[in-house]
Amino acid sequence: MKRYRLKMSICGVFLAIFVALEIFLCVWCFGANYKEFDNSARAEVALPDLSDGFVPQGLCEWPSGSGDEAVGYTVAVSGYYSKAPSRVYLLGGGKADFFTVEKDGKALTTHFGGIAAAENYLYLTSGNEILRIPLAEAAAAAKTGASVAVSGGLDAGMGLAFCSVAAGKLYVGEFYRAGNYETDESHHVEHAGEKNRALIYRYALADSAERIVESETPEAVFSVRGLVQGITVEGSEVFFSCSWGLADSTLERHEMPASPIGNIQVKGTDVPLYFFGKETLRASRSVPCMSEGIFLKEGRLFVLFESACNKYKNFVRRRIKQVMSLPPEFFA
């Protein structure tokens, strides 16, 4: 009798654990509520090759009027494969063309976390480097899935996760998460009771075929929170895409800091240091997990998600297979 009761007790415990786990999984998978996002978001363009292993990371608008080969493209998406060269996709007008990148005779396999376009060039982050590719070359290579060879590149001296171009300025930044993606201690900045652990560099773009930027030392440095995956700047407004893993993403709208809080040394030079925090934050909105690159167009914020790729799709609560856009009122 005692053995029977013990067996029944053990079975009861396991049954309770099983039921609790089932309830948790149901709530996790089906209980996600993004009503404001769902009511505001608009699908813009489908993401290609997600089921083939492509992991999208960076997003930018493709400039109009950049050659006959580029007619119809609206966005560029950068990302990586686990067992193949990284790619840049040019999307729009029913097209999903791509090219790969070679440096020193080798195909690059880095994350390609950030991508931006301006004037005649496409800018791409690869490890610590900023690479520059002529738009015409990118469009021509994408027609056949060819590779573009790059030389040089600007070494920022830190791992680069995102980038953006605005008004002749290039913004590039690092990603911080405790334990997984640590940053140099010198990048940890305290101000007004807050502490950020990542930096963004701002460079003046060079109007030259020989140089990417006017100076390899940034003209300004910004201290920023962790988990930033994307940035876009328009006038005095700055938006951040922040995410990690299965947790909800956060889209933040900030006012550009008006004045520096001091200086910071970069490559032996004192550079003005600005701080993004509570004083600059104007709006913060929760959206589905795994938001990545972003850009602004005609007031709408375009957002890339990596949640529908093979690598993550079996674990996430919401799989987003398109580049989405959000109206200004979403951040009011």
In CATH terms, 35-331 corresponds, of 1.10.3470, 2.60.40, 2.120.10, 1.20.58, to 2.120.10
Q: Give ∠ CA 51-85-178 in degrees, rounded to 5.
A: 80
pTM as predicted: 0.91
**Which residue ranges make up each domain of the chain?**
1-31, 35-331
8 A C-beta contact, residue 218 and residue 282: no
Counting every residue written for the chain, the total comes to: 332
Residue 18 exposed, middle or buried by CB count within 10 Å (0-12, 13-18, 19+): exposed
Kindly state the tokens that stand for 304.
């890339």
User: pLDDT tens digits, the chain, 332 residues: what are they?
Assistant: 555 555 555 655 555 454 334 434 444 455 568 999 999 999 999 999 999 999 999 999 999 765 566 678 999 999 999 999 999 999 999 999 999 999 999 999 999 999 999 989 999 999 999 999 999 999 999 999 999 999 889 999 999 999 999 999 999 999 999 999 999 999 999 999 999 999 999 999 998 888 999 999 999 999 999 999 999 999 999 999 999 999 999 999 999 999 999 999 999 999 999 999 999 999 999 999 999 999 999 999 999 999 999 999 898 989 999 999 999 999 99
Q: From the CB of residue 274, how many other CB atoms can be counted at a distance below 10 Å?
A: 22
295 — phi, psi (to 5°)?
A: -155, 160
